A and B are shown apart, each in its own frame.
Chain A
Amino acid sequence: MKKILLSTSIFALITIGLVSTAKAQIPATRVPLGTVVSAAVPATPTAAPTSTVTTSIVEVLDLAVTSQTTSNFDFSNITTLDKGITNTNAVDFMFRSNKPWFVSIKADGANFTGGDASTPMPATTLQYSFTGVNTFTPLTETATFLGGSTAQARGAGTFSLDYKMNPGYNYGPGNYSLGITYTITNQ
Chain B
Amino acid sequence: MKRVVLVLGFWVLLQGVVLAQSSVNTTVTAKIPEALDLSVTTGSSIDFDFTTNVALLTTGIEKLNAVILSYKSNRPWFINISASSTNFTGGDAANPMPSTVVQFKKNGSGVYAPLTITAVSLSGTSAVKNPKGSNTIGIDYKLTPGFDYASGGDYTIGITYTISGT
Contact = CB atoms under 8 A, between A and B. Distances in A.
A165 B32 CA distance: 11
A163 B28 contact: yes
A63 B23 contact: yes
Interface string B106-138: 000000000000000000000000001110000
Nearest to A121: B30
A74 B31 contact: yes
Interface residues of A, number: 52
A172 interface: yes
A169 B134 contact: yes
A81 B19 CA distance: 42
Interface in A153-178: 163, 165, 167-178
Nearest to B31: A74
Contacts of A182: 23-26
Contacts of A70: 26-29
Contacts of A64: 24
B22 interface: yes
Contacts of A81: 32, 35, 72, 74
A59 B20 contact: yes
A65 interface: yes
Given A170-B74, A171-B132, A76 B22 contact: no
Interface residues of B, number: 26
A138 interface: no
Contacts of B31: 72-76, 175-176
B52 interface: no
A131 interface: no
User: Interface on chain B toward A: helix, strand, loop, or mixed SS?
Assistant: strand
B33 A173 contact: yes
B7 to A, nearest CB: 22
A19 B134 CA distance: 129
A183 B30 contact: no
A179 B27 contact: yes
A169 B35 contact: yes
B77 to A, nearest CB: 10
A82 B21 CA distance: 39
A10 to B, nearest CB: 72
A169 B28 contact: no
Contacts of B24: 63-65, 93, 181-182
A185 B23 CA distance: 9
A68 interface: yes
Interface string B59-94: 000000000000011110000000000000000000
Given A59-B20, A71-B28, A180-B25, 12 more contacts: A63-B24, A65-B25, A70-B27, A72-B29, A75-B30, A81-B32, A173-B74, A177-B27, A184-B22, A184-B23, A185-B20, A187-B19
Interface of B: 17, 19-35, 37, 72-75, 132-134
20 contacts: A69-B27, A72-B31, A73-B31, A75-B30, A115-B30, A168-B74, A169-B35, A169-B134, A171-B32, A172-B32, A172-B75, A173-B32, A173-B33, A173-B74, A179-B25, A181-B23, A183-B21, A184-B22, A184-B23, A187-B19
Interface of A: 59, 61-65, 68-76, 78, 81-82, 90-91, 93, 99, 108, 112, 115-116, 119, 121, 126, 163, 165, 167-187
